[in-house]
Structure 1
Amino acid sequence: MAQELFANASLFTPPEPENLETIDINPTIIEGLILRFMHINTTMVAHEIAAELCVPYYGVVEPILIQLRDSRLIEVTRGDMAAMSYVYTISDAGRARAMQYFEQTTYIGPAPVSLESYNRVVAAQSLKNITVNSDRLREAFDGLVFDEGILEKIGPAVNSGRSIFLYGPPGNGKTSICERIVQSFGGAIFTPYAIEVKGQIIKVFDEFNHVQIPPEEDMRLQGKYDRRFRLIRRPIIIVGGELTMETLDLIWNNEARFYEAPFQMKANGGAFMVDDFGRQRVEPKTLLNRWIVPLEKRVDFLTLHTGTKVEVPFDELIVFSTNLNPKDLVDDAFLRRIRYKIPINDPSHEHFRAIWKIVSEAKGVPYADEVVDYFVEKHMRSHGRPLRGCQPRDILENIIDVCRYKGVEPTVTAEMLDDAAQAYFVKFDDMNYKMLGT
């Protein structure tokens, strides 16, 4: 059953608009985009205009070009029998009209979709349509060393669609766990490049946080679909100490005169992870209060710079992650609102070996149990240092850097381990500072 639900969610394709009667936005928005494009480029071929706007030429772009031409805002300077190959040049009157549109917004890019279309697309690809079972979760966590009991806690938490609180010492893979959770959702989803709300443009697609699927990797991109949408891997948006309350609302660019969607809106269909929870410039209680309505109602309310509230879908898993004591952050009443609290503890010696082996194989470094045991005994246990999941990667990368500098093949010796440990476990006490002349 879960497989069927997952398949239905993954095969959704937004239909291509056929004409101006069926497209979901006002034609004047498309007109403004065309004139802004032409003001910048002066001359454009008809099919290039359609490609830039990501809408069909016939039925959508063509009638608007004819209207602009009849109004003498643009003119055909070259063309043959095929209207798609006409070369258009903007007129002085067209430039004047374009400047009026620029005063409203300087947005240049694919035509936006309506908020209603965005809502339908999010609902069609909702996480509610996916059930993550034990096999799917185990497959997603393959190659990650962890306590087996973790899966039994994560599985129900993921299916709840509520928030998850991961806590424990730093460097033990809390971020990796969140990434694997999103991987267990599977598939790819369509997200709009931009949406239009009450005459305002909100840019949603994020080139940095969204991973776009190449056309050859998904059959849906081979046929007709609404090209105003981008097919992306289910997103995971990770924020840390830089998070503020302002970045959780629409971000207005006063010069460009359009909005950037907030982090949680970009995370729809995936996960939003607040890393280093408790180290933000926002009180933890204030940050948790921000999510009460979205988590209960599955909608979020954003504010335009005019003061108008906009209701948008909230379809994602929120993961809070911290290496601080949860009781030092919020009281018990607030902790109860987070249904699933999962400790991520230090790895055992056996798990530490397994992590070291995986990292060694990935980086092409010889592995031996004796090497790990030497490092643990001399540099960890004898100093009372706890094992951390990140240490094998960090130590081996240090050794690889040294080998590259010396021009030798990557290898691990006791001397190299000692040098790497000395560089890694630095104590910045008063003596060190004096030696550095500070």
Structure 2
Amino acid sequence: MDAELMITRDRELYPPATASVARPHSLEETGLDHFFVADLLLKHLNLASNQTLHHLARQLALPGAVLEPVVNVLRQEAKVESRSADLSGSGVRYALTDRGRAAALDAMARDGYCGPAPVLLADYEGLVRRQSVSKCVVTEEHIHRLFRDTVIDEGLLAQLGPAVHSGRAMFIYGPAGSGKSYITRQLVKLLDGPVYVPYAILVGGTVISLFDPEFHHPVHGEAQDPVDLTHGHDPRYVLCHRPEVTTGGELTLDMLDLKFDEQRKQYQAPLQLKASNGMLLIDDLGRQRMSHVDLLNRWIVPMEEKRDFLNLRAGQHFAVPFDMLLIFSTNLNPLELADEAFLRRIGHKVGFKTLAPEPFLRLWRQVCQTMGIEDDPEVARYMMTELYPTQGNLLLPCHPRDLLGLVSDYCRYRGLPARLSTESIRWAWQNYFVQLDNVG
């Protein structure tokens, strides 16, 4: 990760997003009703009894002043009882009564979610609009700084920069090994950030878990006290770097729908919702186990309307925001994957090519230095004039790393210094490329 770029971009917080996640001072300001919060509190006490108000506030990500009236009502209903403070002086503790335990089990049977309090879908929609990737400003300076240590064609940068700036979908294509995946995964660093991500959203009375530590990485030093009413943002949100969600040949259509865990009775958000305000990379397009036509058609409405449609098991159909840098990447012929009508809907088509000899050798020397292998211009000349013609002179960016990795293996096995030689590069070449003349 380019630390300097990330620090620079992360300082540019969205003022609208910050304002829209102010800490709630009352239950009304959360948008949640008393009965929902009461059920969630009972479920938490069922998992871990004898909790202080401070601890419950941390578990539900709601200030104590918001929870206290709910606790008082539950006490009046004989569902929760208070117990004296322990010797540590940590304050009054709360536990379930038999009646409260029955109510908690009933709540769990209806919805198994037991985490931080969710935010309303309408509030989340407004936040996504304020943090939209279309509001990010990407300049030539930004993209040149990001790739300053990368051997990359200037014409390619001139295509990628405006594509990211537009916030529209991209279609990346080119031969395998041409650097598509590596370059594309860096592009999320160009997006202004960070952004707020809720732990969960509430649709009707159903909770959908959204925050995923695999994709949502909190900004360093984000920890805060949810009980404090005067500092920080609404603790139901986490301040994160913009998410980068990548999926490839394993992608199936059901991964783009809500996932319901039958045993835990919980909903999990699909990949595209987790990628909101960030980047979703569909890698290796055409290698999925399903029809690529079905996969591409799945995105037509979301790309045009900037919203996606999901379904709950009970049949409720609802819209969610569709805001991300959507990138399709393939090493197949784009015209064999999509018709012209679909490709017109893609804002930018960017082709990756093989390298010319000069940038290839520059990359070769760069990788030699990184891997601690002593370069030899004569060996490089031998490789370029004697070996590459046998493979059609296709100079791919992946070759230096792969071939030099094999050279390193060879030298370590033979007990030799990490140094290029005609013998070691020939051995690496024969092991890297398929030698059909040696078969049979």
Instruction: Tell me whether the two structures share a fold, i.e. TM-score over 0.5.
Output: yes
| 1:12 correspondence with 2:17 | yes
| 1:228 correspondence with 2:236 | yes
CA–CA separation in structure 2 for the residues paired with 1:407 and 1:94: 71
Report how far residue 314 of structure 1 moved: 1.1
Match of 2:157 in 1: 151
Q: Aligned to 1:272, what secondary structure does the other structure show?
A: strand
Match of 1:261 in 2: 269
Amino acid in the other structure paired with 1:113 = V
CA–CA separation in structure 1 for the residues paired with 2:381 and 2:437: 32
Question: For residues 85 and 334 of structure 1, do their structure 2 counterparts lie closer, same or farther at Cα, with a shift above 3 Å needed?
Answer: same
Amino acid in the other structure paired with 2:193 = G
CA–CA separation in structure 1 for the residues paired with 2:89 and 2:34: 20
CA–CA separation in structure 2 for the residues paired with 1:381 and 1:10: 57
Report how far residue 184 of structure 1 moved: 1.2
Q: Is the 8 A contact 2:376 2:420 kept in 1?
A: no
Match of 2:48 in 1: 41
| 1:99 correspondence with 2:99 | no
Which moves more between the two structures, 200-209 or 22-31? 22-31
**Any residues of structure 2 matched to 1:119-268 within 5 Å, and which?**
119-215=125-221, 223-268=231-276
Q: Is the 8 A contact 1:301 1:309 kept in 2?
A: yes
Q: Which runs of 5+ in 2 are unaligned?
A: 1-7
CA–CA separation in structure 1 for the residues paired with 2:34 and 2:104: 15
Q: Is the 8 A contact 1:191 1:205 kept in 2?
A: yes
Amino acid in the other structure paired with 2:235 = R
CA–CA separation in structure 2 for the residues paired with 1:373 and 1:36: 70
| 1:390 correspondence with 2:395 | no
Q: Is the 8 A contact 1:10 1:187 kept in 2?
A: no
Report how far residue 299 of structure 1 moved: 1.3
Amino acid in the other structure paired with 1:186 = D
Q: Is the 8 A contact 1:9 1:130 kept in 2?
A: no
Question: For residues 52 and 216 of structure 1, do their structure 2 counterparts lie closer, same or farther at Cα, with a shift above 3 Å needed?
Answer: closer
Deviation string 1:341-370 (CA, Å, 9 cap, x unpaired) is 111001122222222233333333334544
Deviation string 1:300-346 (CA, Å, 9 cap, x unpaired) is 11111222211111111211111011122223333223232111001
Q: Is the 8 A contact 2:13 2:192 kept in 1?
A: no
| 1:68 correspondence with 2:113 | no
Aligned residues: 427
Deviation string 1:234-254 (CA, Å, 9 cap, x unpaired) is 122111112222211212222
Which moves more between the two structures, 410-419 or 387-396? 410-419
Amino acid in the other structure paired with 1:189 = V
Question: For residues 408 and 368 of structure 1, do their structure 2 counterparts lie closer, same or farther at Cα, with a shift above 3 Å needed?
Answer: closer
Amino acid in the other structure paired with 2:39 = G
Report how far residue 256 of structure 1 moved: 1.8
Match of 2:30 in 1: 23
Q: Aligned to 2:367, what secondary structure does the other structure show?
A: helix
Report how far residue 419 of structure 1 moved: 2.9
CA–CA separation in structure 2 for the residues paired with 1:36 and 1:410: 60
Q: Is the 8 A contact 1:285 1:334 kept in 2?
A: no
Task: Calculate the aligned-residue CA RMSD, in Å.
Answer: 3.0
Report how far residue 10 of structure 1 moved: 7.0
> What percent of counterpart residues are identical?
37
TM-score, structure 2 normalization: 0.88
Amino acid in the other structure paired with 1:293 = V
Report how far residue 96 of structure 1 moved: 0.9
Deviation string 1:380-428 (CA, Å, 9 cap, x unpaired) is 223435221112222233344555667776444433333332322234x
CA–CA separation in structure 1 for the residues paired with 2:186 and 2:132: 18
Q: Aligned to 2:29, what secondary structure does the other structure show?
A: coil
CA–CA separation in structure 2 for the residues paired with 1:249 and 1:53: 27
Which moves more between the two structures, 418-427 or 118-127? 418-427
Which moves more between the two structures, 251-260 or 6-15? 6-15
TM-score, structure 1 normalization: 0.88
Match of 1:318 in 2: 326
Report how far residue 223 of structure 1 moved: 4.2
